[in-house]
A and B are shown apart, each in its own frame.
Chain A
């Protein structure tokens, strides 16, 4: 039996349709339409590169420009209102009373805050959805990978890592969607409301909440990735002892055919290992695609916020410019949180791929 036949047979026994559905749903750009576990494994065996690098770069660039264009509408609206505010300020002497122009300025600021809040809510939901989809992907990926890991002799690794990774994934998802992302949202609301007046009422509070959220995210990701990595180091050596003992006893204690048997067991294990790594790579690709689309979108929105802040600054409205700048920072913070989370998931998959290599 050829090793390709073994791999094909083993692959047919696995149910990968859910994972491939997630990939199809998230792949808007259409660059990865022909990626599946089978194609990845066959290109690994044939020694071909997995991606067409130029096409990937091209589609990322197109996507970024497209998102920039759609976010620019908001920027143009804000700049228009800022110009009106500048006009109101310069006309304040001809109104006679200062209160009228001040009131006009404030109403315009309210309008800008309303526009920003609508856009920011969309971005926030985008980030939340991305985290949830990634968690869902991990929850369908881990039950596929762990049995394969056990099949290649990683009994200890499989039984120890499965609850650790599942638990860490669920815990991080709960923390992010109930604690960290809402905290970033709240701090952004405080930044916005702070830009209503010239005095700083809640500026420090907003800075503190956002800092705490970023810190909590970093700590929890480091903590979970760390304990999983340490676990895997220990269990990997334990598995090595078990597998070697089994191989040694087959080849030495089974007379005559023992050597052949242990060799064919080795080949079987290698084939399953290739399948495990192929599916692991598919998981990595799914996670990266799930990360890339929201990340590009959020970075485009953040760039538009920052550019709008730069444009409104010379119009003489310090508060609006500061508010837009801080909103850009908030969107970047959410992008960083999303990035850290996906990094943690990638570390988990990499640990599973690394065992038994």
Chain B
């Protein structure tokens, strides 16, 4: 149960942080690449329990 709570907490914090950073990001050339990296980070945090299961 505590692991699930931590997982949900992590996703919550990461998504909130990512949405704030995306707004504050300067609209430069690199913006779209940074957003792509952010999507990868969220993907990793969602799949974290899977990694624990396999290991």
Interface residues of A (CB under 8 A from B): 99, 102-103, 106, 110, 178, 182, 186, 189-190, 193-194, 196-197, 201-202, 205
Contact = CB atoms under 8 A, between A and B. Distances in A.
Question: Chain B CB within 10 Å — which of A99, A189, A197 has the most?
Answer: A197
A156 B22 CA distance: 68
Contact of B19 (A99, A182, A190, A196): A196
A132 to B, nearest CB: 17
Given A186-B8, A193-B12, 16 more contacts: A99-B24, A106-B20, A106-B23, A110-B16, A178-B1, A182-B1, A182-B4, A186-B4, A193-B11, A194-B15, A196-B16, A197-B15, A197-B22, A201-B39, A202-B15, A202-B46
Instruction: Decide if the interface of chain A is mainly helix, strand, loop or mixed.
Output: helix
Interface in B3-18: 4, 8, 11-12, 15-16, 18
Contacts, number: 40
Given A99-B23, A190-B11, A201 B16 contact: no
Interface of B: 1, 4, 8, 11-12, 15-16, 18-20, 22-24, 39, 42, 46
Q: Which of B11, B19, B20, B42: most chain A Cβ within 10 A?
A: B19
The 3 closest A-B pairs by CB, nearest first: A197-B19, A196-B19, A193-B15
A247 B6 CA distance: 64
What is the predominant secondary structure among interface residues of chain B facing chain A?
A: helix
Contacts of B1: 178, 182
Nearest to A194: B15
A202 B1 CA distance: 20
Contacts of B16: 110, 193, 196
Contacts of A201: 15, 18, 39, 42
B46 A205 contact: yes
B8 to A, nearest CB: 5
Contacts of A202: 11, 15, 42, 46
Contacts of B11: 190, 193, 202
Contact of B8 (A99, A189, A197): A189
Contacts of B42: 201-202
B12 A103 contact: no
A106 B46 contact: no
Contacts of A178: 1
Given A186-B8, A201-B15, A205-B46, A103 B22 contact: no
Contacts of B12: 189, 193
Contacts of A182: 1, 4
Nearest to B9: A189
A178 B4 CA distance: 11
B50 to A, nearest CB: 12
A291 B49 CA distance: 36
